[in-house]
Structure 1
Amino acid sequence: MIKYALLFVALLFSSQICTAQDVDKILKERGEVYFSFELKPETNPGEQLAIIDGIISIDKVTTTKVLAYANTKGFEQFQKLSYSIDVLTAPSMLLSQKEIDGSGSRVNWDYYPNYSEYIDIMNQFVTDYPSLCELVNIGSTVEGRDLLFIHINNNLGTEADEPEFMYTSSMHGDELTGYILMLRLIEHLLENYGTDERIATLVNEIDIWINPLANPDGTFAAGDQSVFGATRFNANYIDLNRNYPDPEDGPHPDGNTYQDETQAFMDFADAHHFTLSANLHTGAEVVNYPWDTWAKLAADDDWWYYISRQYADTAHTFAPAGYLTDLNDGITNGYAWYSISGGRQDYMNYEKQCREFTLELSSTKLPPPSQLPDFWEYNYRSLLSYLGQSLFGVRGLITDANTGEAVHAEVFIESHDKDQSQVFSSLQIGNYHRLLHSGTYSITYRAEGYEPFIVNNVVVANDSTTIINVQLDSLVGIEDITPQTQVFIYPNPVEDIINIRLAEISKEIVLINSSGIAVSKIVPTSKNSQLDVSRLSKGMYFLVIRFEEHTDYRKIIVQ
């Protein structure tokens, strides 16, 4: 602890422009250095940032000025690019330890709990509300600290037709406004469950998971007794928000192995079926929505704009003028701000089909403890509203038409979904939750071994729910179904062209593979039709012939 205090004093009373020896000392003491630099005017800013982000960890971009962190390896590489830098005091050391530790209490939530206090608080929630919450440890950090979630629901341990929702905070260990807001949100949900109808609805109808501290090694880098001296990186000096698989750059985009914290969260996401989540940060005041890695817009960009605008506008109502107004009055597309690779937001959206945005809660990474109640007042209504959004859009159950059992199926919005934006029903009970902006949609439900089912003209309104339960017909044994209309198929097996002769004109003819995916479709204008299968892979397919009153099936072999 003494070494951090001495370093703080040295930086505070020195020029921000430090010598190489100063930087070496900082890196040796803390494992990371915080600095700023100006982008070069002769080169495209976006191109510069794309190169730089692969070397150091960009923190914030304002016009041409960049704030960033680097570990020893990254800083050495960055120096080769010949930028002039100003080394800055670490954000977690701008206040003295006495100011950070303060004299606040849990009564007002105007303090930063130390590590043991944090563990005690999380356990106390369960002691006080055993029927509403449980403490779940999803793994350990590099240094062995716990990665903890509070799981809140009125039917713990029971699978139900409910969306799963996740809040996590402070994967950058020195960004701690969300740390307190998440602890307070847990308390707010539990304390008000019996008296607030809105809270009761959220707890009864949503499976809620809240992790207040995603990088405790960074938060308590200077010791478990204080957040003073917290670091952005984990104990291996890795930025956890650059350590996830990336939609564009693939696995290990930062060149590092998946850290213990990253792997724990990925395993946790694999074990769940999250509909909506948020990743809480500080250092700016803005709602950042997908994508971060791509310039192209997300399939649900209009929904993201609506949800982000709703969060910011609600906060504006209860905050002083100027709060949460960065960039586009408090919201931004991630790439439009600056591009990053390996972020958790894009990972959750692309790999897990979970809608997640990044919430930057305060310009000051580690505000004075006395200000923490203010940030709660500004944000808690927005936090509850965002949580409630997981109940809206299109939802329902997908089951087997014959057995009634749950079916794990894809829910695909025609002429809309792209870049892995489709969602899937859960394997346990077959429930699905598709968040959508207001509009009219055509939805295809498909699963391996089942005939696709299409629902047209689905009307969706913002902040409301459309329920569509679907029963899928199995393809197993359909070759034994007696046709209701005379159908001639030849040749079969087939190599190129298959001829179809019908006793009456059908509405449509669809060829689907054994996974239930439509690979060809025609709308006949006569009783005789042809399908070209020459480009299809060899194997078994099913011809689905739909008439006005019934549907006939034929098994086809492509060889």
Structure 2
Amino acid sequence: MWKVFQICFLLITAAYSASVASSSSNDFVHHNYDAMIAFMEKVRSDYPHITRMYSIGKSVQGRSLMVLEISDNPGIHEVGEPEVKYVGNMHGNEVIGRELILHLSRYLCKNYEKDAEIRRFIDNTRIHLLPSMNPDGYERAIEGDAQGVRGRRNANNIDLNRNFPDFVYRYGRTAEESSKNAEPETRALMNWIVRSPFVISANLHGGSLVANYPYDTNPGSVRRYSATNDDDVFRFISKSYSLTHRRMAKSGPACPHQRDGESFKDGITNGANWYPVNGGMQDFNYKRSNCFEITLELSCVKYPLAKEIRSFWEDNKYAMLNFLKQAHRGVKGVVRDEKGSGIPNARIMIEDRKTVTTAKDGDFWRILLPGTYTIRVEAEGYEPVEKTVTVTNEKPSEISVTLRR
């Protein structure tokens, strides 16, 4: 079924790709911090009606962590509209995700008026793009670095993907205790993740070629499969990327001569089953927010040569779109009180699955695979309500819930 899906998707995307204006070869270069900001500013100025730039914080050395938002109503959370994100360059010397996010931003904006599929996606999705989480590390990294570590860490010599508190929550510590040593970049991401109603996300890395999904760790930090309560969903959304990517799901070693020539069935892996990581960002997303995040390893070489960037873009562009579209899968709805006002922080509960909560206007999104589910909705001071909903592949199922005090 997945191979059929992949073929159909590529045929559809190929049909409208002809309408996309080709980019100059001069665009496929590595962008240092100033050039990256200039690129984002150019997209914002060229398409002011669908874009906004904002900062979520600063790095150790004072560089702003800038996000480019793409939406038909930038700066506004629209009721019923899911929010999605891509984060690149968490490890400063793993750079291809940074470039792909920049090119995705322009690709989406250039085609908003030209392509009905992209316009529909932008009109119904609020997209947040953070090309670089570790701009300080990037400035120290070296083009051509295959598997090195120069620039990997932030300016305080901390690995940001070992700096999140998620894994210690599972050992019973408080948020205050587990956040004491968070770096400024980590704190900025934590605050952004917790305050925003993100539904789906990917963290873009380099050094292998695989879609990696939670959990990244387990008690004892041993190498074994560590499944979340939504393992089926994570496997599905990971395949939505790997099977649309031009090379990720091919048989044989993902990166010959690296990691003993490891191969990954369908181009995906459970994080802890590959190798355990304590304090990773994808686990934090799942445990402390509504967001389903995976980690994408997109290049066998950490800092590829500039002449290879175009090829990476062709490998990934349809997969990047297809992955974000999974935010529109499952169930969505609004929880209101008897006066019709949305109820924030209501709990959307499904047995043996992660509980998600409503956003400030009472709306919610819950990624689920096809099937029939009993959903229990609870909020402080209200009588709970249960509803049965059937999920299909065609479009998200919608429910409206009224809670009475």
TM range (shorter): 0.7 to 0.9
Query: Aligned residue for 2:232?
Result: 302
Query: Aligned residue for 1:259?
Result: 183
Query: Aligned residue for 1:118?
Result: 36
Q: CA deviation at 1:263?
A: 0.8
- The letter for the 2-side match of 1:305 is R
Query: Aligned residue for 1:405?
Result: 341
Q: CA deviation at 1:245?
A: 0.8
- The letter for the 1-side match of 2:185 is E
Kindly indicate whether residue 251 of structure 2 is the aligned counterpart of residue 288 of structure 1: no
Query: Aligned residue for 1:550?
Result: none
Query: Aligned residue for 2:127?
Result: 208
Instruction: Say if 1:243 and 1:253, in contact at 8 Å, map to a contact too.
Output: no
Q: 2:301 aligns with which of 364, 368, 388?
A: 364
SS of equivalent to 1:361: strand
Q: CA deviation at 1:196?
A: 1.0
Instruction: Say if 2:32 and 2:138, in contact at 8 Å, map to a contact too.
Output: no
Query: Aligned residue for 2:364?
Result: 432
Describe the superposition over 1:36-60 as per-residue Cα deviations: whole angstroms up to 9, x where unpaired.
xxxxxxxxxxxxxxxxxxxxxxxxx
Kindly indicate whether residue 244 of structure 2 is the aligned counterpart of residue 314 of structure 1: yes
Cα distance in 1 for partners of 2:58, 2:24 equals 26
Q: CA deviation at 1:308?
A: 1.4
SS of equivalent to 1:360: strand
Describe the superposition over 1:483-538 as per-residue Cα deviations: whole angstroms up to 9, x where unpaired.
xxxxxxxxxxxxxxxxxxxxxxxxxxxxxxxxxxxxxxxxxxxxxxxxxxxxxxxx
Q: CA deviation at 1:267?
A: 1.6
Query: Aligned residue for 2:153?
Result: 233
The share of aligned pairs that are identical, in percent, is 38
Instruction: Say if 2:164 and 2:179, in contact at 8 Å, map to a contact too.
Output: no
- The letter for the 1-side match of 2:336 is T
Q: 2:355 aligns with which of 422, 425, 428?
A: 422
- The letter for the 2-side match of 1:423 is V
Q: CA deviation at 1:311?
A: 1.5
Higher RCO structure (Cα 8 Å, ≥6 apart)? 2
- Quick one: structure 1 residues 124 and 412, their matched pair in 2 at CA, closer, same or farther if it must change by over 3 Å? same
Query: Aligned residue for 1:373?
Result: 310
Cα distance in 1 for partners of 2:76, 2:89 equals 30
SS of equivalent to 1:263: helix
Q: CA deviation at 1:227?
A: 9.5
- How many residues align? The count is 361
Describe the superposition over 1:453-483 as per-residue Cα deviations: whole angstroms up to 9, x where unpaired.
0012x21124631111111112xxxxxxxxx
Query: Aligned residue for 2:13?
Result: none
Q: 1:385 aligns with which of 313, 322, 335?
A: 322
Kindly indicate whether residue 277 of structure 2 is the aligned counterpart of residue 340 of structure 1: yes
Describe the superposition over 1:229-288 as per-residue Cα deviations: whole angstroms up to 9, x where unpaired.
951000000000010112435569999711010111112223211111110000010000
Structure 1 unmatched runs, 5+: 1-104, 475-559
Structure 2 unmatched runs, 5+: 1-22, 219-224, 256-262
Describe the superposition over 1:82-101 as per-residue Cα deviations: whole angstroms up to 9, x where unpaired.
xxxxxxxxxxxxxxxxxxxx
Q: CA deviation at 1:292?
A: 0.6
Q: CA deviation at 1:296?
A: 3.8
- Quick one: structure 1 residues 253 and 201, their matched pair in 2 at CA, closer, same or farther if it must change by over 3 Å? farther
Describe the superposition over 1:301-345 as per-residue Cα deviations: whole angstroms up to 9, x where unpaired.
112112212221111479987685842241001111111110000
For the aligned residue pairs, the C-alpha RMSD in angstroms reads: 2.4
Q: Larger % of helix: which?
A: 2
- Quick one: structure 1 residues 443 and 426, their matched pair in 2 at CA, closer, same or farther if it must change by over 3 Å? same
Q: 1:396 aligns with which of 324, 327, 333?
A: 333
Q: CA deviation at 1:112?
A: 0.3
Q: CA deviation at 1:106?
A: 6.3
Query: Aligned residue for 1:130?
Result: 48
- Quick one: structure 1 residues 379 and 108, their matched pair in 2 at CA, closer, same or farther if it must change by over 3 Å? farther
Query: Aligned residue for 2:104?
Result: 185
Cα distance in 2 for partners of 1:211, 1:433 equals 22
Cα distance in 1 for partners of 2:73, 2:188 equals 25
Query: Aligned residue for 1:447?
Result: 379
Describe the superposition over 1:10-42 as per-residue Cα deviations: whole angstroms up to 9, x where unpaired.
xxxxxxxxxxxxxxxxxxxxxxxxxxxxxxxxx
- The letter for the 2-side match of 1:292 is D
- Quick one: structure 1 residues 253 and 367, their matched pair in 2 at CA, closer, same or farther if it must change by over 3 Å? farther
- The letter for the 1-side match of 2:333 is G
Instruction: Say if 1:243 and 1:256, in contact at 8 Å, map to a contact too.
Output: no
Query: Aligned residue for 2:76?
Result: 158
- Quick one: structure 1 residues 339 and 252, their matched pair in 2 at CA, closer, same or farther if it must change by over 3 Å? farther
If you compute each CA radius of gyration, which structure gives the higher value, 1 or 2?
A: 1
Cα distance in 1 for partners of 2:24, 2:178 equals 38
Instruction: Say if 1:283 and 1:364, in contact at 8 Å, map to a contact too.
Output: yes
Q: CA deviation at 1:300?
A: 1.3
SS of equivalent to 1:111: coil
- The letter for the 2-side match of 1:233 is R
